[in-house]
Structure 1
Amino acid sequence: MPTNPPPFWSPPVAELQPYVPGEQPRIEGLIKLNTNENPYPPSPRAVAAIGQAAASGLERYPDPESTALRQTVAARHGLQPGQVFVGNGSDEVLAHAFCAFFRQPGQVLLFPDVTYSFYRVYTQLYGIEAELMPVDASLGIDVDALIARAAEGCAGIVVANPNAPTGIGLPLSDIERLLRACPDRVVLVDEAYVDFGGTSALSLVPRYPNLLVAQTLSKSRSLAGLRVGFACGQAVLIEGLVRVKDSFNSYPMDRLASAGAIAALEDEEWFEQTRQDVIKARETLSEQLGALGFEVLPSQANFVFVRHPKHDAAQIAAALRERALLVRHFKQARIAQFLRISIGTPQQCDALVNALTAILKT
């Protein structure tokens, strides 16, 4: 909280602790492995579609219901358009979900203590009481603990699967256990990284009215700069999200974003090739880091979470930055000795390994 907040602010604003994104500096020759962007460009079809959309129609508002994009998402995942909500990046989709479903008087929202830090920000923004459930000794989500606590009553459950920043995934059976344990509240599954090896819960949407699954095109579709996210759930949940959206911004998806997203979703060949390239690079990098003495957590994401038993994580990150290599270091107590390293191209990963080899020798 600022020492002397401006008198113009509403009181809750002074209490907020905003999300801090990864560093985005302009450094010559930078190798940026700190914000989980895809190292490969988006589908050429997506780029062409954006250009075509820019050629005409920008003088008019876009479709407030994003009908074509919702139809495309639904068709890809075997759902109905009425089971799809789209927004300006999955962060906006998540924010609307927190507002729509988790402001339950007298009850607390449950999510892991080591997870995407924006969840905590959303609870502060919307005045939601939260209980952070400790991950287990291996930094995996403790599903049994969540289920036991949910039995006492809760406002809902949020899990990232695979989790961030660890990259550890849950099997679909555990997601179903959470859904059955919390039948009267929403279970939100954030699948930002699922395309890199996780198991999606989208197939469960028709069976569980309390399931909401959020995904993004920022990672596996290489569209972080376009800001497109979506959520899938039964119609009653989508209606709740639409009510929040239309009370905030009726036109979150612009024409360019919709056109690029549709083309990217339709280019399955490009998607499959680039995601497999990332997965292959992740496995190679994991082996190389292990050979350097790092503990590498099992990852189903486009990043790895690692620590070295003999070297301080903050010092390693600083030494890498001096070599124009950015990785992410978190100061949270339980993970302060870990680094999150986004998967780059093979050449970028080789540069990282070479730099780490030199640093560890000093």
Structure 2
Amino acid sequence: MSRFWSPLVKQLTPYVAGEQARLPDLVKLNTNENPYGPAPEVLAAIAHANADDLRLYPDPAASALRRVIAAHHGVQADQVFVGNGSDEVLAHAFHALFQHGLPVLMPDVSYSFYPVYCRLYGIPHELVPLKADFCLDVQDYARPAGQVGGVVLANPNAPTGIALPLADIEALLRLHPDRVVLVDEAYVDFGGESAASLIARHPHLLVVQTLSKSRGLAGLRVGYALGSVELIEGLARVKDSFNSYPLDRLAQAGAVASFGADAYFRQTCARVMQSRERLSAGLRELGFQVLPSAANFVFATHPGQDAGELAQRLRAQAILVRHFKLPRIDQFLRISVGTDAECGRLLGALNTITRSS
């Protein structure tokens, strides 16, 4: 620790991202990237961006991008907020909407960045246990009025992949009509159901999505939020007090083009979902228990194998999967859905490992 750090910095435990290894002949199934990459239209839009324009600041409002996102989801442009990946959007949401001095409720097994934001902004939070099967029970979030600062959940959940039905999301919204309910839909395009259709009836709902997963643009860093005008204005106030130009010109051009490539988007999502079902079936044949997934990854455990040891033995073969050393899930592996060839190599390696054990 440095003597120059502020007291807050000394207390922080930052989020740890998945390993970005440089291994020969690597099969990278640890960070949920899309194996098929962006649409050709996206690459063309970036390539044809006027290089001379890079000396100029980008549109601070990302107006063109917000219009195409709004059209895609059936909302108005002033109900859309964009940022550098959904992580930045989430950070602004915690800062703008959850600093009420009351605990924000979130699942105990979910995206581990949520508690990090709470610690960064001094927001009290309560981890609400998922059920034994890792499903969420809405009634576990019932609290007396005035005792909740908000609710945050990923749907489909990460790292479990389990999706919550839209009726349960609406029931959760009815439990806390005076506090923001944030639904993080990073993986919704792989079989989940977006809560964006509920925004018109529930002004306290904020839906966050990303272009990193289903649109294959993890390296471009574009995320967005959908909500009532008042929620979006709150996010914009924080953004414009921090960085008025979060999305560069190339990111805006590529992101706009991605929404025009609808056929490619649907085709690649379908391919990932088909590969996910084949991967799940293959893992079950090897004795793994696999949770039902509506994401571009699966969450699996083997009753006769230590998850940490499996991850290390796979890494020795240049195959990366994600292992979380956390309560309740330390015997699970989160495995991103790659191409069929990558999934086949993973299954082959696991077959050898489990048989040798």
Q: TM above 0.5, one fold?
A: yes
State yes or no: 1:197 paired with 2:208. Answer: no
- Gap runs ≥5 in structure 2: none
> Where do residues 131-146 of structure 1 align in structure 2 (5 Å cutoff)?
131-146=126-141
Q: Is the 8 A contact 1:134 1:142 kept in 2?
A: no
Paired position in structure 1 for 2:103: 108
Provide Cα deviations, 1:298-326, integer angstroms capped at 9, x if missing partner: 00000000000000000110110001000
Structure 2 residue corresponding to 1:320, chosen from 303, 314, 322? 314
- Evaluate the alpha carbon distance shift between residue 78 and residue 9 of structure 1 in structure 2; reply closer, same or farther with a 3 A threshold: same
TM value normalised by structure 2: 0.99
- Report the CA distance between 1:191 and its aligned residue: 0.0
Partner SS, residue 289 of structure 1 = helix
CA separation in 1, counterparts of 2:148 and 2:327? Answer: 26
TM-fit CA distance, 1:142: 2.5
How far residue 55 of structure 1 moved from its aligned partner, in angstroms, is 2.8
Contact 1:307 1:339 in 2 (8 A): yes
CA contact (8 A) 1:74 1:80 kept: yes
Which runs of 4 or more aligned residues in structure 1 lie more than 4 Å from their structure 2 counterparts after TM superposition? none
Is 1:53 aligned to 2:34, yes or no? no
Q: State the shift of 1:144 in Å.
A: 1.3
2:71 is equivalent to residue 82 of structure 1: no
Query: Is contact 1:38–1:344 with CA below 8 Å preserved after alignment?
Result: yes
Deviation at 1:12, TM superposition (A): 0.4
Q: Give the whole-Å Cα distance in 2 for the aligned partners of 1:185 and 1:52.
A: 44
Q: Deviations over 1:26-59 (max 9, x none)?
A: 0000000000000012101001101112533100
Q: How far apart in 2 are the matches of 1:6 and 1:318?
A: 33
Q: Of 19, 25, 29, which residue of structure 2 is paired with 1:23?
A: 19
What residue in structure 2 maps to residue 304 of structure 1? 298
1:329 is matched by which residue type in structure 2?
H
Task: Say whether the 8 Å CA contact 1:103–1:155 is kept in structure 2.
Answer: yes
C-alpha RMSD of the superposition: 0.8
Show the counterpart of 2:254: 260
Counterpart of 1:238? 232
The size of the alignment, in residue pairs, is: 356
Deviations 1:283-302 (Å, cap 9, x if unpaired)? 00100101110000000000
Query: Per-residue deviation at 1:127?
Result: 0.3
Checking the alignment, whether the CA contact within 8 Å between 1:150 and 1:181 is kept in structure 2 is: no
**1:92 aligned partner:** 88
Structure 2 CA distance for aligned equivalents of residues 54 and 355 of structure 1: 47
| AA of the residue aligned to 2:228 | Q
Q: Please say if residues 150 and 182 of structure 1, whose CA atoms lie closer than 8 Å, have aligned partners that are also in contact.
A: no
What residue identity is the alignment partner of 2:24? Answer: E
CA apart distance, 1:333: 1.5
Query: Of 152, 166, 170, which aligns to 2:164?
Result: 170
User: How many Å separate the matches in 1 of 2:241 and 2:211?
Assistant: 24
Partner of 1:274: 268
**2:215 aligned with 1:221, yes or no?**
yes
AA aligned to 1:157 is V
Distance of 1:177 and 1:150 partners within structure 2: 15
In structure 2, relative to structure 1, the CA distance for the partners of 1:360 and 1:9 (3 Å cut) is same
Deviations 1:240-286 (A, max 9, x none): 00000001100001100000001011100110110000000000010
Residues 1:330 and 2:324 aligned together: yes
2:59 to 42, 52, 63: 63
Q: Percent identity?
A: 61
- Aligned residue number for residue 120 of structure 1: 115
The whole-number CA distance in structure 2 between the counterparts of 1:50 and 1:104 is: 41
Aligned equivalents of 1:206 and 1:305: distance in 2?
Answer: 34
Q: TM-score, normalised by structure 1?
A: 0.97
Deviation at 1:149, TM superposition (A): 2.9
Tell me the distance in 2 between the aligned counterparts of 1:188 and 1:64: 24
